Amino acid sequence: MIENNLANEGHWRRIIRYVRALAGAVVEQGEYARLKDDAYLELLAAIAPVYDIGMVAIPRGLLIKPDKLSEDEVAVVQTHVTVGADVMLSVAAKLGSELPFLPLAAEIVRHHHEHWDGSGYPDMLKGSEIPLSARVVALVSVYEALRSRRPYRPALSHARAVKLILHDLHHHFDPVLLNAFHDAAARFEQIHIEG
């Protein structure tokens, strides 16, 4: 369940390891070269698990509902990205010099549901308008979500999750990161199995 991911140590470890695996498979060109910078990668991997921190503000009943959410309920759940980012930026305004990673965390929290084709939320960013950090976390968090049981469906197999990401949902993700995911897919399965 989504709310369990916030406190699930295995979930956090997998997200960190997925980020590293994806970065390890990405081509070192243009903006993607940042993913080869050890300092940036370690920071990104360390803060990636907070991507859904705004879920703490969402009514629990919506998070565990076994049925399809209504349009109004979906709109409430979607506020988790702005609520979470606002909290991160508020703390950064007060403690920014002591916690310099918070603006990057806020960027991830706000934009990890943006889609490459512009159909995501909250800002309907498109393509490279979406921060690279959020594009990385978007892909790894979707893999993790697909492999995890939800109140409304069982966990999917690795093969089904990979097919969905590469073929059915491909328009949601950065094509360069999709290629890296394709190359690192076996590593993702291993990470999931190891927990």
Mean pLDDT in each 10-residue stretch from start to end of the chain (195 residues)?
57 96 96 96 96 94 90 96 95 84 95 98 98 98 94 93 96 98 98 93
Task: Output the pTM of the full model.
Answer: 0.93
Cβ neighbours of 96 (radius 10 Å): 13
Give the residue numbers spanning the domain of 60.
2-194
Residue 117: CATH number of its domain: 1.10.3210.10
Cα distances (Å, whole numbers) of residue 23 to 8, 88, 126, 131: 23, 24, 21, 15
Distance from C-alpha of 87 to C-alpha of 21, rounded to nearest angstrom = 29
Tokens of residue 149, six digits: 């049981």
**The predicted structure's pLDDT at residue 184:** 98
Contact, 141 vs 51, CB < 8 A?
A: yes
Query: CB burial class (10 A; 0-12, 13-18, 19+) of residue 103?
Result: middle
Our CA angle for 162, 167, 171, nearest 5°, is 115
> Based on the structure, what is the number of domains in the chain?
1
Cβ neighbours of 71 (radius 10 Å): 7
**The predicted structure's pLDDT at residue 5:** 52
